[in-house]
Amino acid sequence: MTDRVRTEVAPKAGLTTAQVAERVARGEVNDVPVRSSRSMAEIVRANVFTRFNAIIGGLFLVILVVGPIQDGLFGFVIVANTAIGVIQEWRAKKTLDSLAVIGEARPTVRRDGAAVPVSTSQIVLDDVIELGPGDKVVVDGEVVEADSLEIDESLLTGEADPVVKRPGDTVMSGSFVVAGGGTFAATKVGREAYAAQLAEEASRFTLVHSELRSGISQILKYVTWMMIPTAIGLIISQLVVERHDWREAVRRMVGGIVPMVPEGLVLLTSMAFAIGVIRLGRKQCLVQELPAIEGLARVDVVCLDKTGTLTEGGMDIAELRPLAGHDNAYVRKVLGALGAADPRPNASLEAIINAYADDADPGWRCTESLPFSSARKYSGAAFNEPDGDSGTWLLGAPDVLLPATDPALAEVDGLNDQGLRVLLLARARKDLNDPAVASAVTPAALVVLEQRLRPDAADTLRYFAEQDVHAKVISGDNAISVGAVAGKLGLPGAERTVDARHLPADRHAMGAELDRAAVFGRVSPQQKRDMVGALQSRGHNVAMTGDGVNDVLALKDADIGVSMGSGSEATRAVAQIVLLNNSFATLPSVVAEGRRVIGNITRVATLFLTKTVYSVLLAVLVAIWQVPYPFLPRHLTLLSTLSIGIPAFFLALAPNKERAKPHFVRRVMRYSLPAGLIAGAATFVTYLLARHHYRGPGALDAETSAATLTLFLVSMWVLAIVARPYTWWRILLVLSMGAGFLIVLVTPSLQEFFALKLVGTQGPWTAVAVAAAAGVVLEFAWRRAAVTDGDPAPRTGAQRSGLT
């Protein structure tokens, strides 16, 4: 252990202001643009240059050639949708960028002999940068000073064991300090540091894998392949049927292809995510990867680190209990000396310093020190006292420093049962640099610490319990003490505590133990990682919260990592969600936002895919029957706007607390496929009946109007089902869309513009009757699909399907 103790090196004063200016002028500055979002050009490019915009744009140009312009309304809808997408993502970008500045790491550098915090982008070549526990190494460099410096390079190398660093050793950006402190000189800045390039890519605004986005991509792939043969068949049939008027054939062909494209679905998904970012940003929650909103809504196990999550960072000394006849005043003097010997104290030592700093004897000289590490569970220092005596002292976990038979442990257990944290002050009989220093100690005192419970923790735990999300408290502290704290907060199963040192190493066996218990103590950093993996191996979606360096490995491996804003730079770097207000109570808001996105996108996806299914079916039936396609593009633009476009916009942004369910594509198709088939079949039946009924000039317009009426009524029935359960605004939304169509039917100028005019009474009432019959069949099919979906409760179709 000689490599872990303090290494005395003359401190380096750092660069002067003039030297910094010279390096900036030469471009030797850490100018890697760390951005949390896409640039404006990338946003515009991503929203404008899409596959479906190209398809719709091409069809729009065709309509501009054959006319009239009202058949090209769908092109203006695409422009409006794209503009909305750009504006919403730009708003999300502004929110993310502002939050990223708040959460950005500000390393401390030495300049002109003084320590000053600077932004990462202001570091220059040869800057001397200070390091402490939890600090992230932001550029590549060479160690100048080492004070028991241990660095975790697992994020770069995959090796979990900390690496001891001495003067002259190299450090790489992306690693972080787990114990000790020191300084290093920057040797590579900006894009020269390979790890910095990786960090830049990892920190960008990303739309990475999510079930929603991958599911929608899968749907769009299928739609693309269906469009090609359907479009070819439709073109051929319309040219054959309408050979006397190729312009009319082209218009009706375009009318058959356009509604197959669910172009608004991608837009609304991105917009729902973007608005989620904006809403959470107002609550000081930084979402570093957009699908994390969705991911947290899907988790069924959340692993909580006690310190900083259930409890606040600070602690207070509740009691000091000398042991084995040690003098109280002498013990206080030792504790004061230990506090003075550590330049970077943790929360426990901060409480000791606050209580016993005045008891420290300035005559005590620290000869070597050992900083606290969550892996070894203790810290220590060796002193020369004014009277010539010397001694080595350790401060740490009693059950780690004492044998299991020591009578002092019974006293410790009693204190832990009260939810108090207990540290043991012990005198070591071996040198601090001896690997077995903790194996031979003489207890001197118990330091009893009182933890400050977060006032909002109990409500948050209650929320997770109500949502069937199992909370597991995983802590490096004593299991009994952690269980007592969790019990005070009302955690279900808090009485079942497990000492992680007795957990099996086998992942399957560990997972079974994790399913049975709720509180785990004395968990090492590597064990936290193993426990997350064990839960995942049993099919759980796992979220991990934490704020210390001992949580980094588990945060990185969890499905969703959540870090406190006051946590170490390392935890903030690997977490997908950062709670900048340090409030555990923000998590329910993230879950709620994710459920809103998932539930609402499932709603609107059902609307869009219903339209795609009936459009394909109508095109196929038209090709088989060799009849003119019943609709012009303007008709389907009107229907899509009233029954899908406008309602989907409001439904996608509405509150939704339904628990997230898996298998997005299967669930959406289970509802949209029968709905689309019923709508398409009913529309075609009306069209054939109208062709039989109407004769002479204007018959095609009358046939189209009757078919349009049926399709609109069935589409509104689908909308009415999807909008359940009803609230005042949802009822108003459905009625408003119906009123909009009625206005078109009774207004002469709109009748002419949209080429819609109901002729006589038999045709329109036949259309209404067919739509009513289709609605009955639709309700039956929807309820049957709901039962197949695993919810047999006798409620409305949308409620049972999870679309609420």
Who has greater pLDDT, 260 or 72?
A: 260
- pLDDT score at 251: 74
Nearest-angstrom CA–CA distance, 374 and 476: 7
- Here the tokens at position 26 are 């030469």
The predicted-structure confidence for 753-772, as pLDDT tens digits, reads as follows 888 888 888 889 999 999 99
The predicted-structure confidence for 522-549, as pLDDT tens digits, reads as follows 888 788 889 999 999 998 989 998 877 6
Angle between helices 211-241 and 51-66 (to 10 degrees): 20
Span 117-128, average pLDDT: 88
The predicted-structure confidence for 257-306, as pLDDT tens digits, reads as follows 777 777 777 777 777 887 888 888 888 888 877 677 888 888 889 998 87
Nearest-angstrom CA–CA distance, 629 and 646: 26
CA 688 from centroid of its chain's CA atoms: 51
- For 172, which DSSP code? -
Q: Which residue's structure tokens are 């196990």?
A: 301
Counted residue by residue, the chain has a size of 804
- pLDDT score at 257: 76
Who has greater pLDDT, 357 or 715?
A: 715
- pLDDT score at 156: 63
Residue in 135, 147, 305, 557 annotated catalytic? 305
Q: Which domains does the chain have, with CATH numbers?
A: 2-18+113-194 (2.70.150.10), 43-90+207-278+591-801 (1.20.1110.10), 285-310+454-582 (3.40.50.1000), 311-453 (3.40.1110.10)
681: pLDDT strictly greater than 80: yes
- pLDDT score at 154: 65
Q: Which amino acid is at 681?
A: A
739: pLDDT strictly greater than 90: yes
Who has greater pLDDT, 376 or 197?
A: 376
- Name which of 12, 5, 19, 3 is nearest 144 in CA terms: 12
The answer to whether 449 and 477 have CB atoms below 8 angstroms apart is no
Nearest-angstrom CA–CA distance, 552 and 574: 7
- The alpha carbon torsion through 287, 584, 343, 148 (nearest 10 deg) reads -70
Burial 43-61 (b: 16+ CB within 10 A, else e): bbeebbebebbebbeebbe
The predicted-structure confidence for 469-489, as pLDDT tens digits, reads as follows 899 998 888 888 888 888 888
Query: What number of CA atoms fall less than 13 Å from residue 421's CA on the CB side?
Result: 27
> What Å distances lie between residue 787 and 32, 657, 673, 674, CA to CA?
54, 21, 16, 14
Calculate ∠ Cα 377-380-384, nearest 5°: 170
CA 386 from centroid of its chain's CA atoms: 56
Nearest-angstrom CA–CA distance, 426 and 432: 12
Q: Which residues contact 725 (CB under 8 A, 6 or more apart)?
A: 796, 798, 799, 804
Note if 305 is an active site residue: yes
The predicted-structure confidence for 621-640, as pLDDT tens digits, reads as follows 988 888 888 888 888 889 98
- pLDDT score at 626: 83
Q: Which residues contact 289 (CB under 8 A, 6 or more apart)?
A: 206, 208, 576
Three-class SS of 720-741 = HHHCCCCCHHHHHHHHHHHHHH
DSSP3 helix / strand / coil % (the chain, rounded to 5):
55, 15, 30
Q: Which amino acid is at 497?
A: T
Who has greater pLDDT, 632 or 366?
A: 366
The answer to whether 444 and 322 have CB atoms below 8 angstroms apart is yes
Q: Which residue's structure tokens are 């082209």?
A: 250
- Name which of 542, 539, 541, 514 is nearest 527 in CA terms: 514
- Name which of 401, 393, 395, 376 is nearest 4 in CA terms: 376
CB atoms < 10 A from the CB of 360, how many?
A: 19
The predicted-structure confidence for 406-441, as pLDDT tens digits, reads as follows 888 888 888 888 888 899 999 998 888 888 888 888
790: pLDDT strictly greater than 70: no
Tell which phi-psi region holds residue 27, choosing left (phi > 0), alpha (psi between -120 and 50) or beta.
Answer: left
CB atoms < 10 A from the CB of 407, how many?
A: 9
Mean pLDDT over each residue of the chain, to the nearest integer: 82
- pLDDT score at 718: 95
User: Dihedrals φ, ψ of 452, to 5°?
Assistant: -95, 115
Query: What number of CA atoms fall less than 13 Å from residue 33's CA on the CB side?
Result: 8
